Amino acid sequence: MKFQNKFRPINPYERNIIERAIRKFSSNLFGKLTKDYCFYINFNFIWKKESYPSLYLLSSKQEQFIKQIRVLNHIYSAGLYIGFIKKGNLLLSLEFVEFIEESKYLKKVKSIVVNKSGERSVLYGNDITYRMISSISEDIEKEDEVLIYNLQHELLALGKFILENEESSLQKQQNKIIFNIIDKGYYLRKKQ
């Protein structure tokens, strides 16, 4: 079978998937991003076993350049990698989360800060328990996605809060309270 690569702008179905995932951070974030950037998708069939469509965020200058040189069938990636689509859901990359956090697109960030044992645990891909938390945003609710920082305020991971944010229920809870979605240690653990 001949190798095929398809790098193209997203369609309305893919746009809905991206918008739904980004709304978890802010209801108007997707609109702000589409003013300055465009979304592209890549269907790369080199790695058959675990290949999912990859998504990229391109500036208007990058998009203009790509259109001028007319090499879309030879492009594997361009711009900022934002994640991949699996079973109709967008799994965001930590690079994209860091980009939106650093570029100040988010007015208020739902976050937690973990202690040293929490940092180590997160980077090994583990979930977070109450004992690992140094501080936590007050407005976090069950099922919210949260940014996980270490004591030096370095972004370590993206997680999902799985309990109600009530002090008494948090302290009683000995099991995990934040599910680790993706962390910086992932790149060292993944198969090469």
Reading the chain (192 residues) residue by residue, the pLDDT tens digits are 344 557 889 999 999 999 999 888 778 889 889 998 999 998 865 544 457 889 999 999 998 888 877 665 677 778 999 999 988 999 899 999 899 888 877 777 789 999 999 999 999 999 999 889 999 988 888 888 899 999 999 999 999 988 755 555 555 556 788 999 989 887 666 654
The pairing of strands 89-92 and 111-114 is unpaired
CATH topology classification for 111-189: 2.30.130
The pairing of strands 133-136 and 145-149 is unpaired
Q: What is the pTM of this model?
A: 0.80
What are φ and ψ of residue 166, in 5° steps? -120, 130
Radius of gyration for the chain, computed over Cα atoms and rounded to the nearest angstrom: 18
Would you say 48 and 83 are in contact if contact means Cβ atoms under 8 Å apart? no
Secondary structure E strands in 77-154? 80-86, 89-92, 111-114, 128-129, 133-136, 145-149
CATH 2.60.40 is held by the domain 5-102: no
Residues of the chain with CATH 2.30.130.10: 111-189
pLDDT at 192: 46
Residues of the chain with CATH 3.10.450: 5-102
